[in-house]
Amino acid sequence: MSELIRRLRDGLPEDAVLTDPDVTGSYSRDMADFCDAGTPAAVVLPRTVDEVQHVMRTATALRVPVVPQGARTGLSGAANASDGCIVLSLLRMDRILEISPADRIAVVEPGVVNAALSRAVEEHGLHYPPDPSSWEQCTIGGNIGTAAGGLCCVKYGVTAEYVLGLDVVLADGRLMSTGRRTAKGVAGYDMTRLFTGSEGTLGIVVRAVLALKPKPPQQLALAAEFPSAAAAGDAVSRIMESGHVPSLMELMDRTTLRAVNALNDMGLPESTEALLLTAFDTDDPGADLAAVGALCEEAGASHVVPAETRAESELLLQARRSVHWALEALPGTTMIDDVCVPRTRLAEMLEGTAAVSEKYGLTIGVCAHAGDGNTHPTVCFDPHDEDETRRAHQAFDAIMALGLELGGTITGEHGVGVLKREWLARELGPVGLEMQRGIKQLLDPLGLLNPGKVF
Amino acid sequence: MSELIRRLRDGLPEDAVLTDPDVTGSYSRDMADFCDAGTPAAVVLPRTVDEVQHVMRTATALRVPVVPQGARTGLSGAANASDGCIVLSLLRMDRILEISPADRIAVVEPGVVNAALSRAVEEHGLHYPPDPSSWEQCTIGGNIGTAAGGLCCVKYGVTAEYVLGLDVVLADGRLMSTGRRTAKGVAGYDMTRLFTGSEGTLGIVVRAVLALKPKPPQQLALAAEFPSAAAAGDAVSRIMESGHVPSLMELMDRTTLRAVNALNDMGLPESTEALLLTAFDTDDPGADLAAVGALCEEAGASHVVPAETRAESELLLQARRSVHWALEALPGTTMIDDVCVPRTRLAEMLEGTAAVSEKYGLTIGVCAHAGDGNTHPTVCFDPHDEDETRRAHQAFDAIMALGLELGGTITGEHGVGVLKREWLARELGPVGLEMQRGIKQLLDPLGLLNPGKVF
């Protein structure tokens, strides 16, 4: 037994240290199939804060890199193992420690699944908004690591806006508390937000205080078909300019609509160029939808179909949630991008993406959190065809370049991971990059936490 | 002319460098009268980013401390001059650079007054929620420096939640951009939030991208009188537990009510122990207020008086906004505290504060952003009476100790400044303090930015 395994086992239960390569192999990567992943020396599955501290102390003593993991549903390779690392899976720390309806907070361990928390707080009349498409699998710890978004963000914002306080195990094994459990607080620098979205490169989140909202009425949706993506983008601008506050505003292009129908036979319109879904969870969603329907028609919608019941709405949302799997089921493989632009530039982003698709001769399916200007162009290619693979990477990069040109960001919600490291420098510029590296150096001086990610 | 003044003038217009002690003296302190303040060597009033960079390069070259300032309405001494420093006033950088209704953002310089921005965006049907009581004077740069709150926070959150991106001049004069102008974005660490609330100790904010909301309906308020502060606190818990989302929820105790009447003859009830104001800006505020009124009665309210018109509501809010001035107008001087506790502990906080008042034999007027659990106990004392002054400081500290004991924070929205430096360590603990000092060291290695503040 190696010194590493022996020392890990010294402070962890027998079943918390996995070394069988057949087992540890299944912890080697997240859902970004096309990113490199290495072979871990061990996978550890602690159940307590003490055990996480033991893992980090051991890693520091032996200078072994540590890759923290949630449910591995990430899309940028941030949870991928590196050779010889310790994979630190937080899946067994899955307790909801507290739900307080009057304080509107929940206190949770990092391994709690997003949907489990959502359902638990719902029983108290409360609502935890962040809802990544993978919400049935992904964990709160992973959501915090990537500052994950979802479909709700256009009204309710991203994960980061719900993280009030954290307990974090630092690289050297010390425990640090950040933030608060109060509604407000400004004592010192905002370390909570620094850890949120840091993709496991600054510390291990072992406990989180999350803000909750009262449960809103169930949302009601409207589907509008457009003859061009640009017309749909124009509708988005008109709707937001008119002061509406939709609870969801999603766009699917023709490629995406066909893929979803092929997977599930959802009966989505295939002759339309872009379908815009808009929903409201207000007291009178029918009135909001009527106003939005009229704006869609002004922007050139060919058909406007309000859902008649909440069940019908739910079906539309299910169709949207299945997009990732539908595009994955197409022949070949896919590379999903995550560019976010100011929503007034959405039409240009969609038109530019179509031009990229044409230039590189590749299918690119686009779905978008349209209300946020956050597009997910998915490049489809045959990984066994060298030329096509090369073109796919060029197209992927061209999409990010276009996003930056339009005043956007290379990643709206998926994170940098290993996928977009080279692009981060372009977005941050030299001074920004230097300061971010300084923070990494401060919190992880030996470079053991998720090395090779983000920077 | 000293070398410092000569070099400052080299890159600044004639009228941008003030050295006359009669003039510079008026820039020496914020509104925390009881905090120490020094004498600046110069006050500079740049109009451009270049000029700010020149000031910081000069300060770095000559190792002269810099104290950034907005409107000096702060309440913790964070903007107080130190001897021989450069006071860097951002008041002349007061342009609103852009308002985009469809993107729901504004781009502003730091010297824009909060109320000026609020009114400007209102013309576009938009709303900038953060509303410190000093909103007619305070600047956006100062609001960002302290992550300022206000009356709106119970529904709309604090300043930090509206800052999407910043341009910051670093200590050495380099310019750094953080964040984005998109609705979402997770490229790298959240440096925007690190600067927000850093009280001028990490860099000089010279431009901000702010998120806006659609303008809500005007709010309608209800006043409820309670026989004890604890009963009012109980009402707050009941209201929040029932899932209501008030746009304002403020509490004033008897001392405060009397002081407000004395200042303005507002006709507030003086026989009641606590007055709770609750407002809604929903489509049907009357229905919300009726439900809340019933909950107040269940909690023991003696009188429940809904405003009949929005003008009547506005009067109640004006009374609340005048509290600071009303308490200042009492004989002697005042020391305003800013402890925030989980709202379920508000009743205990109010009762504990009354006990502190009795123990130290001092009048302590309490108003509170009750919905946030954020109390402002204001200790009244005669600064010429040594013993009373000593007791006032003890009472002030006892209130913070109580706040921490109840799971709260020493500052909900006013910041640490010079006033609460010793207390910050107690709240953060040794590891947290070490990491925060590391960040200060990284961004300001020579310790020139607002030295002696926060830490």
CATH code assigned at A16: 3.30.43.10
Give A301's contacts (C-beta < 8 A, 6+ positions apart): A224, A225, A226, A231, A235, A276
Place of tokens 């009492």: B330
Distance from CA of B378 to the nearest CA of A (A): 18
Residue B148 is assigned to a structural domain of this protein: yes
The phi-psi region of residue B257 (left if phi > 0; otherwise alpha if psi is between -120 and 50; otherwise beta) is alpha
The answer, yes or no, to whether residue B1 has pLDDT greater than 80, is no
pLDDT tens sequence across B377-435: 999 999 999 999 999 999 999 999 999 999 999 999 999 999 999 999 999 999 999 99
Distance CA B284, CA B291 (A): 12
What is the DSSP code string of B204-258? EEEEEEEE-EEPPPPPEEEEEEESSHHHHHHHHHHHHHTT---SEEEEEEHHHHH
- pLDDT band at residue B173 under the 50/70/90 scheme: very high
- Where are the extended beta strands (E) located within B258-349? 274-280, 303-306, 333-336, 339-340
Closest by alpha carbon to A273, among A327, A228, A336? A228
In a 10 Å sphere around its CB, with 0-12 CB exposed, 13-18 middle and 19+ buried, how is residue A19 labelled? middle
Name the residue among A187, A190, A408 with its Cβ closest to that of B424.
A187
User: CA quadruple A77, A78, A80, A84: dihedral positive or negative?
Assistant: positive
Phi, psi of A11 (to 5 degrees): -125, 15
Closest by alpha carbon to A336, among A427, A255, A279? A255
- Predicted local confidence at residue B169, as pLDDT: 98
Express as a percent the part of chain A with pLDDT over 90: 91
**Do residues B223 and B209 both lie within one domain?**
no
> Which of A186, A234, A431 best tests the B interface by mutation, with the highest count of B CBs <10 A?
A186
Distance CA B211, CA A211 (A): 20
Residue B165 is assigned to a structural domain of this protein: yes
Cβ(B248)–Cβ(B374) below 8 Å: no
**Do residues A310 and A194 both lie within one domain?**
no
Cβ(A272)–Cβ(A312) below 8 Å: no
Q: Is B411 in Cβ contact with A186 (below 8 Å)?
A: yes
Quote the number of domains for chain B. 3
Partners of residue B182 in chain A, C-beta under 8 Å: 340-342, 372-374, 407-409, 412
Q: Is A374 in Cβ contact with B188 (below 8 Å)?
A: no
Task: Report, in angstroms and rounded to the nearest whole number, the Rg of chain A calculated over CA atoms.
Answer: 22
CB count within 10 Å of CB A60 equals: 18
Name the residue among B407, B414, B429 with its Cβ closest to that of A181.
B407
Of the residues A214, A232, A258, the one at which a domain ends: A214
Distance CA B152, CA A184 (A): 12
What are the structure tokens assigned to A293, written together? 């329907």
What are the structure tokens assigned to A399, written together? 């999409």
Closest by alpha carbon to A451, among A434, A431, A437? A437
Give B144's contacts (C-beta < 8 A, 6+ positions apart): B110, B159, B163, B166, B195, B196, B197, B205, B208
In a 10 Å sphere around its CB, with 0-12 CB exposed, 13-18 middle and 19+ buried, how is residue A245 labelled? middle
Name the residue among B185, B193, B343 with its Cβ closest to that of A412.
B185
Q: Is B184 in Cβ contact with A413 (below 8 Å)?
A: yes
**Do residues B73 and B172 both lie within one domain?**
no
Distance from CA of B376 to the nearest CA of A (A): 13
Q: Would you call B109 helix, strand, or coil by DSSP?
A: coil
Strand-strand pairing, B42-44 and B86-89: parallel
- Predicted local confidence at residue B325, as pLDDT: 87
Q: Is A374 in Cβ contact with B184 (below 8 Å)?
A: yes
Cβ(A214)–Cβ(A127) below 8 Å: yes
Q: Is A424 in Cβ contact with B188 (below 8 Å)?
A: yes
**Do residues B166 and B191 both lie within one domain?**
yes
Residue B24 amino acid letter = T
What are the structure tokens assigned to B70, written together? 């907005």
Phi, psi of A335 (to 5 degrees): -130, 110
Q: Is A436 in Cβ contact with B191 (below 8 Å)?
A: yes
Q: Is A170 in Cβ contact with B409 (below 8 Å)?
A: no
Residue B267: give its domain's CATH number. 3.30.70.2190
The phi-psi region of residue B393 (left if phi > 0; otherwise alpha if psi is between -120 and 50; otherwise beta) is alpha
Q: Chain A to chain B, count of Cβ pairs less than 8 Å apart?
A: 245
Residue B152: give its domain's CATH number. 3.30.465.10
Residue A375: give its domain's CATH number. 3.40.462.40
Chain A residue whose CA is closest to B415:
A186
Enumerate residue ranges in chain A where pLDDT < 50.
none
> Which of A174, A189, A348 best tests the B interface by mutation, with the highest count of B CBs <10 A?
A189
Of the residues B168, B185, B214, the one at which a domain ends: B214
Of the residues B178, B194, B214, the one at which a domain ends: B214
Q: Is B188 in Cβ contact with A428 (below 8 Å)?
A: yes
**Do residues A362 and A282 both lie within one domain?**
yes
Cα dist. A51→A9, A11, A58, A133, A223 in Å?
10, 7, 11, 31, 50
- Predicted local confidence at residue B300, as pLDDT: 97
- Predicted local confidence at residue A325, as pLDDT: 87
Distance from CA of B161 to the nearest CA of A (A): 8
The phi-psi region of residue B373 (left if phi > 0; otherwise alpha if psi is between -120 and 50; otherwise beta) is left
Strand partners, B204: B169
Phi, psi of B349 (to 5 degrees): -65, -40
- Predicted local confidence at residue A196, as pLDDT: 98
**Do residues A299 and A374 both lie within one domain?**
yes
Distance CA A327, CA B210 (A): 36
Q: SS3 sequence, B181-215?
A: CCCCCCCCCCHHHHHCCCCCCCCEEEEEEEECEEC
Distance CA B194, CA B179 (A): 11
**Do residues A279 and A391 both lie within one domain?**
yes
**Do residues A230 and A183 both lie within one domain?**
no
Task: Report, in angstroms and rounded to the nearest whole number, the Rg of chain B calculated over CA atoms.
Answer: 22
Residue A423 is assigned to a structural domain of this protein: no
Partners of residue A183 in chain B, C-beta under 8 Å: 153-154, 340, 343, 371-374
ipTM surpassing 0.90, yes or no?
A: yes
Residue A392 is assigned to a structural domain of this protein: yes
**Do residues B255 and B292 both lie within one domain?**
yes
- The rounded Cα B404 to chain-centroid distance in angstroms is 19
- Where are the extended beta strands (E) located within A281-407? 303-306, 333-336, 339-340, 364-369, 374-381
Residue B372 is assigned to a structural domain of this protein: no
Residue B261 is assigned to a structural domain of this protein: yes
What is the DSSP code string of B377-404? EEEEE-TT-HHHHHHHHHHHHHHHHHHH
Residue B305 is assigned to a structural domain of this protein: yes
- Where are the extended beta strands (E) located within B117-170? 126-127, 163-169
> Which of B146, B435, B437, B440 best tests the A interface by mutation, with the highest count of A CBs <10 A?
B435
Structural domain that includes position B304: 218-319
Give A116's contacts (C-beta < 8 A, 6+ positions apart): A94, A96
**Do residues A137 and A24 both lie within one domain?**
no
**Do residues B122 and B150 both lie within one domain?**
yes
Maximum CA pair distance of chain B?
70
pLDDT tens sequence across A36-57: 999 999 999 999 999 999 999 9
What are the structure tokens assigned to A452, written together? 């090779």
Please give the DSSP secondary-structure letter assigned to residue A218.
P
What are the structure tokens assigned to A375, written together? 């597009």
**Do residues A178 and A242 both lie within one domain?**
no
Give A309's contacts (C-beta < 8 A, 6+ positions apart): none
Residue B85 is assigned to a structural domain of this protein: yes
